[in-house]
Structure 1
Amino acid sequence: MHRHLLTAAIGAALAAAAIAAPARAQDAAPSSAPTEIDKVTVTGSLIPRSEIETATPVISISAENIKRQGFKDVYDVLRAQPLATGAVQDSQYTGGFTTNAEPISLLGLDPGFTLVLIDGRPMADYPLLYNGQSNFTDLASIPTAMVERIDIAPGNQSAIYGSSAIAGVVNIILKKRVDGTHLNFRFGGYDGGGGENARLQLIGGKEVGPFSLTYGLQYSMQDPIYGYDRRRIDSTNDNPDPDARYGSRNFVRINADVLPNEYVDPGAACGALGNLFNGTLTRDFRPGRGYYCGSREDVGYLTIMNRKRDLSGYFNASYALNDRTELYGTLLVGHNKSESNPGTRVWTTSVDTNGIFYNDTSGRYETYQRIFAPEETGDVDANNERQTSDSYNLAFGGRGSLGESNWNYDAYFARSQYKVDSKQRWLLSAAADDFFERRFLGPVIDHVGPYPVYAPTDDSGFYRALTPAEFNSITDIIRTKSETWTQNFNLQLTNTELFHLPAGAVGFATVLQAGEQSWKNPTDPRVVAGDFFSLTGTQGQGKRRNQAIGVEFRVPIFSQLTASLSGRYDKYKNVGAGTDSDGTYKIGLEYRPVESLLLRANYATAFKAPDMAYVFAGDSGYYTTVVDYYRCATEEPGESIGNCTYNAESVSGRRSGAKDLKSITAKSWGAGVLWAPSGNFDVSVDYYNIKIDDEVNDLNIDAVLRSESACRLGQLDPASPTCADAFARVSRLPQDAPVPLQLDSVRTNPINVSKEEVRGLTAKLNYRWQTDSWGSFALGANYNVTLKHENQQYPGDPTIDYLREPFYSSEFKNIGSASLSWNKGPWTTTLYGVRYGRTPNYAAQVDPAGYSTENGGRMRPHLSFNGSASYEFGDDLSLSFTVNNLFNKMPQRDKTFDVYPYYNSLNYNIYGRSYMVEVNWKFGASSQ
């Protein structure tokens, strides 16, 4: 069926071309062009050329479209692209490892499989680790004021750019020429409250003789959005499961030796706590458990949009020494401050035994749990994780021609660096235990096995709020400073007429590169030592050196057929670890039977050197809250995951890097057709197929526990390699323990054995037309459909179908976007829409049986629109108004999503409709 789709698309384009009138050669480009087109370097190639469209399909988003279509920053632009099908952890994912970073997942692949470039040069990785495991590029640090356009080239591009270009390349092209000075001010907010924002931009340029300067400055601010700002998620009363509408366990005493665990009724003790959580804490009741003191609005104190203050600067300068030689330099710097609230802090008795101790007074195994309210911590924002990041991207060098020959060179040094200084307040285990021992528990008097023995005589000290001073006395600030950098020397030689064949000139390019990169992610020694309550951290550092040589040829085989061939050899030396090398190549064909039609195909290999974190991560521990799927299934059968007693079990984990990891390798091929009968119309369809081998995966702890449960329950073959591995990783207490088979620990680590394949179709259309009375119109559309996405974790394992097994993935199968613009005189308006395809509901994601279960199913497609209108008051002043999410479209209500925030925040957001007003002034422009 997939071949039929491609054949039909190509056949339709060929039929259309057969009846089309001949067009000029330059009309093959998707936009109007002058009679002569200067040769330019396009993303996906090193050789300058006249044709914008080549054997590699490229999607370009101009700065003007970024503005008109309502995107507030580079991340918004890329996240809305149809190629960005994967679910990712962004700033909505509170409590994670990278709550202030913004990654994308092209084609549903890992964020680290996308190479992000600035002017063709790689950016430094984000210093903190995605999901605590892998390196990736953060898009939050790139200011829109300096962006000229963004190119996206899907598929393998390692033969041109080296490591990591497996899912594709995102090339962010910065402005090189600006006429005059442009001052821009924008402000806005959201219908539902929170998120107020403002941005000030100043960009300009100046040319004096042989000297050219472009500069820019951007300052932006964004206020947070808390859960309590959105009615859909401000309380546990919003839970779609009526049986789960009860408060958080802010003050709870638990009998841990009975199943299900029973709560000890606090009686009237909750009355003295009624002022907490803005007066919402009461004596609440959980069905099947009992009474406790809790607030149903506790959950709303998490941020779903972070507080940010960003300052960026940009300079690009060039100096022409003569007609053949130019010196240049580029510097982009950023200083960012952000805050996120992962929720209230928790304390329980005896964290080393999952909160359980032996109560000598009652003769039972028990647990006490406290969740601290904002009134106790001193402020709503007191628990915020605060990050300051500083980054820069620098390049300087020279370029020109060698004498009177056709040879051109570009020699430069490039360096990119990213630093993150992170601070957060956390409970000190010893100080907190000592405080509550003095307040009500008393000292440890003995041990029963691993369980400490206390003899509390009075609960009144437990049911008492802390003062901010008391809270501060049992906490401290954790501060970490992490850093990455990458630098390299490059020499590139090009010759667009190396020699001539009967069909035309052969183009040639070669590149020599030598560089190194570093990753440093230390952790406060007290965290590693376990001094902080229920907290450990990731740590590691390392350095890597690399050398590369690459060549590219562009060969006209005959007048209608051109081939491009490129190859590259990369060698990596991990300092103190292993050495790895890879050779990659790419072959492309461009066939133009008529000047308006391009048939293209490409085949390429690619590689990704193992992430620095995968190689150099030290032995790291972590505490996390997980779902114990096995005990939910065996001890509370029929209970929903959200209402299961074991849906928030504390567990410790360990992980470390693997210095013997090898590079991930990939092969891809693609084919497509582009028809451009005029400069005002073009349409294209392209097929891509990517196969990845030796993929490195750090096992997800939730996935390990799901697999372990499925193996124990016989839903997966207990003798399979997956089950053998899951049993080895998950440690449980013995059957005769006070809490039989309670989770003890889980170990994860990176492995180099997985395979993955993704294939699909992408299409784009552009159409512009002019009318005599109604002005000019422009229509643009992009679409991507994933036809297959499969993964095999271990040799011998069954293949996982990510599109049909929601237990493993909630990626979008298809995404489409379209924009319609109208311009008449001083008025310009744009309507932009994006349609996200179906995704699995929550019940299907947590049940290995997927859609075969009664509750399995899919969510409806999600459609939203942005609208903008601008008016020009002459040549120097304009005013625009933008409404994003025009119809206030929220994520579809999922009746099975019974875990906060009650929607899939990896796929959708709940920000709602927003407004932006923007004023633009231009002055000092040269006369035309």
Structure 2
Amino acid sequence: MKHKLLVAAIASALALPFAVAPALAQQTDQGQDTTQSAREKAKELDKVVVTGSLIPQAQIETASPVITITAGEMQRQGFSNVYDALRAQPLATGAVQDSQFSQGFTPGAKTISLLGLSPGFTLFLINGKPMADYPLLYNGQSNFVDLSTVPMAMVDHIDILPGNQSSIYGSSAIAGVVNIVLKQHVEGVTLDYRAGGTSDGGGGNQRLQLVGGYNTDKLNMVYGVQISDTQPIWGFQRPISSSTNGNPNPNARYSPRNYLVLRYGAHPPYVDPVSLAGANPCAPIANQFGGTMSYQYRPGSGYYCGSKESVGYATLQNPSTSYSGYLNADYRINDTTQVYGTLLYSFVKSKSYAGPNYTWWGANTGNYFLNANTSSFDLVQQTFAPEEMGGLDASAERLWSRAYSFTGGVRGTVGQSDWAYDAYYARSQYNLSSQQRRTLGAKVDAFFENQFLGPKLGTTSGYPIYAPDYSKFYQGVTPAQYQSFTGVVSTRSETYTQNVNLQVTNTNLFDLPAGPVGVAGVLQAGNSYWSLPADPALVAGDFWGITGSSGAGKRDNYAAALEFKVPIFSMLTADLSGRYDHYKNIGGGADSKATYKLGLEFRPIESLLFRGNYATAFRAPDLGYAFIGPSGFYSTTNDYYRCAVLEPGVPIENCTYAPSQYKGTQVGNANLKSITAKSYGFGVVWSPTSKLDFKADYYHINIDNEVSYQSVDQLMKDDAACLLGQLPAASPTCVAALAQVQRAPATGPLPYNLLGITVKPINVSKEMVSGIVASANYRWDAGRWGDFGLGAQYNVTLKHTYQQYAGDPDIDLLRNPYYSSEYKSIFSSNLSWNIGDWTTTLYGIRYGATPNYTAQLYTAGYATKGAGTVAPWILYNGSVEYRIGDNARVGFIVNNIRNSMPPRDSTWIGWPYYNVFNYNAFGRSYWLELNVRFGTGKK
């Protein structure tokens, strides 16, 4: 069905109340039922607010498909936390960065990618209120939400709603909404303790949870605490990543260059340590990396000192300790008024180990120096081992995060009318502190000058001159010496989002022949803030080999929304919602966006639902893109102007200045506009009996005005056209291009030389994704053999394309792995068996095939072989639980029963020798759990 046809159908349906006089009767399991009696029956059902709607309703299945996973299901299916459970959902097809990417920008955060779209395109909610962004930027560019701070103990269930939902929730709901609903009512007190580990070593963990409730005639209170501790999983604890011997390419199983002297122009370039320090040159440092440092050879390059096992000294899973608290209370002042408040607070301490990447390249400039003894240009490299740094812990990046979500308000009804209101204030905040010990440029250079280089003897052509004594190079350093030339990079960053809201609802605004019309309205005002200040010493360039980016910005927002639920006739209901949002950056830049959604629910019989929806959505200009400070990079580009002036008539592909190296600078753009999207979907829900149900839905999302950094090639073409007089110099295009491209003057040794290019993010890209999500559940009573349940979920992406710049061909993200390695399909299923006091669950998930690394290189133009794939990855989890009396149970849970490692990719030759954005090598995990309940009621 095309979206235009769907819109036409909805528009026609809205006119039906005025054309159809009598209401059609509904068919029920008991036979014919009148509309009036059906309405009375519906009134007997509890109406609740469901994810994707503001209007309380009795129907759970609506015009939009919602996938719900309860806390009990997450536990029985073998997931240890909220992130693991969400990452395993079939809708989460996109590859993402998590703790395995320890050298990335956000090693302490965990997020998901719905439908293969950017994590920032999913709106994450706590009890329907937005969560604050993680302070560090995803991929160093954009904001996103971290899921690692959400405690499992406080979760009641999670709703996942794919597709555009901005007409209800506002910004970011393009890929969909993930609503984490916390516990609202608890009887008694439950104490839960879990402990476990992994079968291959590392990853030991334990968790203590206490959740209770206190209830009177007027007061309902839920409280809880959770304390958890997780130990690291090191690369050296898994065969696939313990050493370079795990490299699938036998010719690439050589050691990293931990101690190296390289000579420019020499063949081979590596200088044999024996010729520099005598026999057994690596002996003084043989204790490093657990005693694995030795004399090594790299084919075609030469000899050096190295350790094949050094690559394994990075974490695959970060160690962490977390403390969480939860308090939810509501107090009934009278029959029509209730005050309430909810607070969720989490404090997490974690560490990330990026491995032996703290390297010094001598000297001073981090480049070659002239060896006065040999008249050669030498380069020296040393990687600091844990034994030199003072142990494994000395290399850790330490992270402290504090996150909270608070809501407080008053709700009730207006007298005895059908009008209900909810006025509240909501705030979510995330504070992050980090510390990392790194080498200080001046101090480390001075140390190695004293260690073996000797005093600087002058310079030649900008290169320093030394007379090194290499026999002292292979001596290593002591922890005290390492401390003397290192310092700590410290950052403190913060984000928050807050707003005040007034929401009114009426489930019986007026009656139509088919039933009552429901309405809901929202007024909202708030702001959001992001601050990422860089360490002043980092900005000043005091630390060797690293730079930092920073930024800060604040934005005000105002919104109004309205939703109607209209029964067209007894079988057909329409849901219409619209919202207007206005955003204004403090310091410049503003944008407004109106979004809407039209949905239809057609129920020819009570057990069958046909549904369809059409919606628009947006993501407000990203605070990271808008306010990030200058950050540098190096690259090459064609210099069209220099070619035209200095080599006129020479084709660009033959020009000396194509390509030319340049230093680039990325800056923020406070005048960005919103990313916009349109989506439509349709599906069917069939439940022929209370024990069997099927769902299948098609989704299609088109995204416009996505943010990408400016095309350097187009900027260079504009620069040339302006300088050559082909465009007016006073035109906006020329004013911008000439300011962003910096050149040397016409006079001098390098006339018109390209000095630098500044680029900023702009709204320019497009993206489209479509697919089908389906599920089925069956429950049956086997008599004395117990009760069984069988469920399955499936998601397949039919098409996913991306266009970066206008006029570019569409990139097929399912077949062009240079841009994406998302799963085309994910299938999961579960089987449960309850008999007597025993409950058993088996859960399986199949991740579809993904492109291999050669395919990525091929599509990037770096390989000659065509595309290949990595086999599907199949995992099984299981749990067994035994109930001891009415108020206690003991359980055993296993994740990844078969201890399946990532599927082999013979072309992925970079450590840890698998794609960490799709797979993990944690292996089999297991837990023993004891749960005891105190107080009234059965568990």
Q: Tell me the secondary structure at the aligned position of residue 103 of structure 1.
A: coil
Counting only pairs closer than 5 Å after superposition, residues 462-473 of structure 1 correspond to structure 2 as: 462-473=473-484
Q: Which residue of 2 aligns with 1:85?
A: 93
> Equivalents in 2 of 1:731, 1:806: separation in Å?
34
Q: 1:697: how far off?
A: 2.9
**Change in 2 beyond 3 A, CA 1:774/1:23:** farther
**Change in 2 beyond 3 A, CA 1:362/1:419:** same
Q: CA-to-partner distance for each residue in 1:333-366, whole Å, 9 max, x for gaps?
A: 0011001101124334457866323334322332
Q: CA-to-partner distance for each residue in 1:733-757, whole Å, 9 max, x for gaps?
A: 9xxxxxxxxx999976423200000
Q: Contact 2:174/2:677 (CA < 8 Å) preserved in 1?
A: yes
Of residues 641, 645, 660, the one that matches 2:671 is 660
Opposite residue 807 of structure 2, the aligned amino acid is G
Q: Contact 2:124/2:177 (CA < 8 Å) preserved in 1?
A: yes
Q: Which residue of 1 aligns with 2:515?
A: 504
Q: CA-to-partner distance for each residue in 1:206-253, whole Å, 9 max, x for gaps?
A: 112201110000000000011011111111111111121111111101
**Structure whose CA Rg is larger:** 2
Q: Which residue of 1 aligns with 2:451?
A: 439
Q: 1:731: how far off?
A: 12
Q: 1:541: how far off?
A: 0.6
Q: Which residue of 2 aligns with 1:673?
A: 684
Q: Contact 2:267/2:301 (CA < 8 Å) preserved in 1?
A: no
Q: Tell me the secondary structure at the aligned position of residue 423 of structure 1.
A: strand
Q: Which residue of 1 aligns with 2:835?
A: 824
Q: Which moved more, 1:754-763 or 1:338-347?
A: 338-347
Opposite residue 141 of structure 2, the aligned amino acid is Q
Opposite residue 755 of structure 1, the aligned amino acid is K
Of residues 170, 181, 193, the one that matches 1:173 is 181
Q: Tell me the secondary structure at the aligned position of residue 473 of structure 2.
A: coil
**Change in 2 beyond 3 A, CA 1:835/1:652:** farther
1:137 has 2:148 as partner: no
Q: Contact 1:333/1:392 (CA < 8 Å) preserved in 2?
A: yes
Q: CA-to-partner distance for each residue in 1:491-538, whole Å, 9 max, x for gaps?
A: 000011111111111110000000011101111011111110111112
> Equivalents in 2 of 1:421, 1:572: separation in Å?
29
Of residues 206, 217, 221, the one that matches 1:213 is 221
> Equivalents in 2 of 1:865, 1:419: separation in Å?
36
**Change in 2 beyond 3 A, CA 1:627/1:881:** farther
> Equivalents in 1 of 2:294, 2:32: separation in Å?
75
Q: 1:199: how far off?
A: 0.2
> Equivalents in 2 of 1:44, 1:398: separation in Å?
22
Q: Contact 2:886/2:938 (CA < 8 Å) preserved in 1?
A: no
Q: Which residue of 1 aligns with 2:410?
A: 398
Q: Contact 1:25/1:595 (CA < 8 Å) preserved in 2?
A: no
Counting only pairs closer than 5 Å after superposition, residues 263-278 of structure 1 correspond to structure 2 as: 263-267=271-275, 268=279, 269-278=281-290
Q: Which residue of 2 aligns with 1:202?
A: 210
Q: Contact 2:42/2:58 (CA < 8 Å) preserved in 1?
A: no
Q: Contact 1:513/1:547 (CA < 8 Å) preserved in 2?
A: yes
Q: Contact 1:855/1:896 (CA < 8 Å) preserved in 2?
A: no
> Equivalents in 2 of 1:789, 1:850: separation in Å?
21
> Equivalents in 2 of 1:922, 1:350: separation in Å?
63
1:302 has 2:310 as partner: no
Q: CA-to-partner distance for each residue in 1:846-896, whole Å, 9 max, x for gaps?
A: 222689953630011111100100000111110000111011111112111
Counting only pairs closer than 5 Å after superposition, residues 494-893 of structure 1 correspond to structure 2 as: 494-621=505-632, 654-698=665-709, 749-848=760-859, 853-854=864-865, 856-893=867-904
Q: Tell me the secondary structure at the aligned position of residue 388 of structure 2.
A: helix
Q: Which residue of 2 aligns with 1:631?
A: none
> Equivalents in 2 of 1:81, 1:927: separation in Å?
31
Q: Tell me the secondary structure at the aligned position of residue 848 of structure 1.
A: helix
Structure 1 gap ranges (5+): 7-19, 27-32, 629-649, 709-724, 734-742
Q: CA-to-partner distance for each residue in 1:277-330, whole Å, 9 max, x for gaps?
A: 111111100000000111111101000000100000000001001111110000
Q: Tell me the secondary structure at the aligned position of residue 605 of structure 2.
A: coil
**Change in 2 beyond 3 A, CA 1:2/1:574:** closer
Report percent identity of matched pairs. 54
Opposite residue 166 of structure 1, the aligned amino acid is I
> Equivalents in 2 of 1:927, 1:610: separation in Å?
50
Of residues 381, 384, 400, the one that matches 1:372 is 384
**Change in 2 beyond 3 A, CA 1:234/1:653:** farther
> Equivalents in 2 of 1:128, 1:627: separation in Å?
28
Q: Which residue of 2 aligns with 1:722?
A: none
**Change in 2 beyond 3 A, CA 1:927/1:251:** closer
TM-score w.r.t. the length of structure 2 is 0.87
1:411 has 2:419 as partner: no
Q: Contact 1:351/1:534 (CA < 8 Å) preserved in 2?
A: no
Q: 1:620: how far off?
A: 2.5
**Change in 2 beyond 3 A, CA 1:23/1:814:** farther
Of residues 31, 51, 60, the one that matches 1:43 is 51
Q: Which moved more, 1:767-776 or 1:745-754?
A: 745-754
Q: Contact 2:558/2:582 (CA < 8 Å) preserved in 1?
A: yes
Opposite residue 164 of structure 2, the aligned amino acid is N
Opposite residue 539 of structure 2, the aligned amino acid is V
> Equivalents in 2 of 1:338, 1:319: separation in Å?
38
Opposite residue 845 of structure 2, the aligned amino acid is V
**Change in 2 beyond 3 A, CA 1:782/1:565:** same
Q: Contact 2:854/2:863 (CA < 8 Å) preserved in 1?
A: no
Q: Which residue of 1 aligns with 2:648?
A: none
Q: 1:34: how far off?
A: 11
Of residues 130, 133, 136, the one that matches 1:125 is 133
**Change in 2 beyond 3 A, CA 1:905/1:729:** farther
> Equivalents in 2 of 1:285, 1:549: separation in Å?
68
**Change in 2 beyond 3 A, CA 1:125/1:592:** same
Of residues 66, 71, 86, the one that matches 1:63 is 71
**Change in 2 beyond 3 A, CA 1:77/1:573:** same
**Change in 2 beyond 3 A, CA 1:64/1:511:** same
Opposite residue 129 of structure 1, the aligned amino acid is L
CA RMSD between the two structures: 2.9
Q: Contact 1:806/1:850 (CA < 8 Å) preserved in 2?
A: no
**Change in 2 beyond 3 A, CA 1:516/1:693:** same
Structure 2 gap ranges (5+): 7-26, 34-40, 638-660, 717-735, 745-753
Q: 1:471: how far off?
A: 0.3
> Equivalents in 2 of 1:358, 1:103: separation in Å?
48
1:478 has 2:486 as partner: no
Q: CA-to-partner distance for each residue in 1:9-44, whole Å, 9 max, x for gaps?
A: xxxxxxxxxxx9947999xxxxxx999421111100
Q: CA-to-partner distance for each residue in 1:737-785, whole Å, 9 max, x for gaps?
A: xxxxxx9999764232000000000001111111212111111111100
> Equivalents in 1 of 2:593, 2:362: separation in Å?
51
Of residues 326, 345, 363, the one that matches 1:314 is 326
Q: Tell me the secondary structure at the aligned position of residue 107 of structure 1.
A: helix
> Equivalents in 1 of 2:165, 2:626: separation in Å?
23
Q: Which residue of 2 aligns with 1:231?
A: 239
Q: Contact 1:414/1:487 (CA < 8 Å) preserved in 2?
A: yes
1:286 has 2:283 as partner: no
Q: Contact 2:364/2:441 (CA < 8 Å) preserved in 1?
A: no
Q: Contact 1:24/1:596 (CA < 8 Å) preserved in 2?
A: no
> Equivalents in 1 of 2:109, 2:872: separation in Å?
27
